[in-house]
Amino acid sequence: MKRRISVVAALAVATAVAFVPSATTAVGTDSSQLRAAVTVANVNTHLANFQQFGQASIPEFGHATRVDGSLGYTQSVYYVASQLRAAGYLVTVQDFIFDRFEETAPPIFQRTTPTTRTYVQDDDFATMDYSGSGDVTARLVPIGPIVIPSPGGSESGCAASDFNGFPAGTIALIQRGTCPFRQKAANAQAAGAAAVVIFNEGNVDPEDDRIGTVFGTLDPPQMTLPVIGTSFAVGQELYNLIQSGATVNVRVAVAAHVVRSESSNVLADTPTGRADRTVVVGAHLDSVDAGPGVNDNGSGTAAILEVAKQMAALRVQPTNRVRFAFWGAEEFGLLGAEHYLANLPKAELKNLMLNLNFDMVGSPNYVRFVYDGDGSATGTKGPSGSGNIERVFLDYFASQGLATEPTAFDGRSDYGPFIDRGIPAGGLFTGAEGIKSAAEAAVYGGTAGVAYDPCYHEACDTYPANVNSTVLDQMADAIADATLQFAMTTSSTSGTGKSSSSAQQSVGEFKGSLLRK
């Protein structure tokens, strides 16, 4: 259904609250009034509504979801747009079309020789998004270099030469690591593979699960051969059987296609503020198919929605225009943010001062992660100016006596297309499928050895069960503070004037919440 484009009246200017620099704050503008207005109770009200919107999809999908193309997503779009319209923002609903990957039957993965075993979907394996369809039973052939145990950085299947002598018609067993899944699968396909099995790498990574089932994507267009991801344990089992001299045959069956689907971005501008210094504050509005996506990413959406509403209620007169952006189709490859930027005239692209991104800020087993803008902790920096954004967040949390950890720009959220165009970026994150360490549990509480969000991309990502209101409250305040700092600043963010259509900093091959490599 085609969505309407709406433009609304300007924010009222009477009785405007003056936000001025304060010697008592860690950063330039006193945000205490805005932070007090942004309550976790109001943020949770938005989350409860997103839960209800997800449930509206049950008649069509058989379960609650706010995935693009669902009634739950449509209701989420109208809710956000109407809330912002009522607050007085200039609202645009930007529609776009994309190819949505959809499985038409449950996938099958079985070992047929030397002994039989049927693997369990999601627990042991999962279809990679944009896998091809097929039902193949054939010998499993490992593709080097496979290293068990892995120190990290496996290059298995990354080079075409890895497939020298590969028997056409067999199934490739490839270890995760280093290069994109699609590159591995494409090399296998070029060598004549009938299917591809990519197993998790097996090394310890503090932010990424390298042990459990790989839930990955190959990105569109859809491939012609079936491709699945497995846990490290399954891959190790199969590899060890082959190394022992056994002939291992497996069955891989996938039934899937792509569906032309509609989605929308919601863009809401303050009616005042310098248009040539636009601050984009973004969060993705969609969920995965499996559930209503209350933490991923109802939490980020609800937080920036409430910040926007309270800025309007306090009659904030920003020095720089603030654009609150609610992205569609993030889960299918950052498609909403990419569509927005790809269709922005070059002159307007240069007006984007920076991007603040908030994807998952209420994780149950949380850590307070701040994106490492200057690359000092992770070795992967954002475009010039990103370090200054990081510093604003770090200064704020320090002023509140709250610990933080750095997290890398890995391209798994909507800041990716901004970074690709040289636009400074930053944001907050409380963790997804990565496993909490004992050291982190000592600082933040929670449970070591368990995922930051055990319901990541699952049906159980619901309200209120899968949201930690303590960290959500803390993150909402940090979002309010940073948004206000950049809305009111008269200083230049280093690198702001250098935005362009070409990337200034490569941050890897991830293109969405689903793993790309």
Tokens of 269: 């501008």
One DSSP character per residue, 371-387 reads E-TT-TTTS---STTHH
User: CA 252, CA 133: separation in Å to the nearest integer?
Assistant: 10
Tokens of 39: 């309550």
Q: Do the beta carbons of residue 513 and residue 296 sit within 8 Å?
A: yes
Tokens of 210: 């390298």
User: CA 309, CA 87: separation in Å to the nearest integer?
Assistant: 6
Establish whether 330 is a catalytic residue. yes
Tokens of 408: 């890398």
Q: Do the beta carbons of residue 324 and residue 69 sit within 8 Å?
A: no
Say what the alpha-carbon torsion angle 499, 419, 474, 433 is, to the nearest 10 degrees: 170
Tokens of 40: 């976790």
User: CA 369, CA 453: separation in Å to the nearest integer?
Assistant: 14
User: CA 517, CA 510: separation in Å to the nearest integer?
Assistant: 7
Tokens of 71: 């009634």
Task: For residue 265, say if its preceding peptide bond is cis, omega within 30 degrees of 0.
Answer: no
User: CA 462, CA 453: separation in Å to the nearest integer?
Assistant: 12
User: What percent helix, strand, coil does the chain show, rounded to 5?
Assistant: 30, 25, 50
Indicate which residue of 201, 207, 330, 331 is catalytic. Answer: 330
Say what the alpha-carbon torsion angle 199, 205, 211, 215 is, to the nearest 10 degrees: -60
User: CA 91, CA 252: separation in Å to the nearest integer?
Assistant: 47
Q: Do the beta carbons of residue 199 and residue 238 sit within 8 Å?
A: yes
User: CA 111, CA 114: separation in Å to the nearest integer?
Assistant: 8
Of 96, 99, 123, the residue nearest 109 (C-alpha): 123
Give the ranges where 343-467 is alpha helix by DSSP (H): 346-349, 386-399, 415-420, 438-444
Residues with a catalytic annotation lie at 330
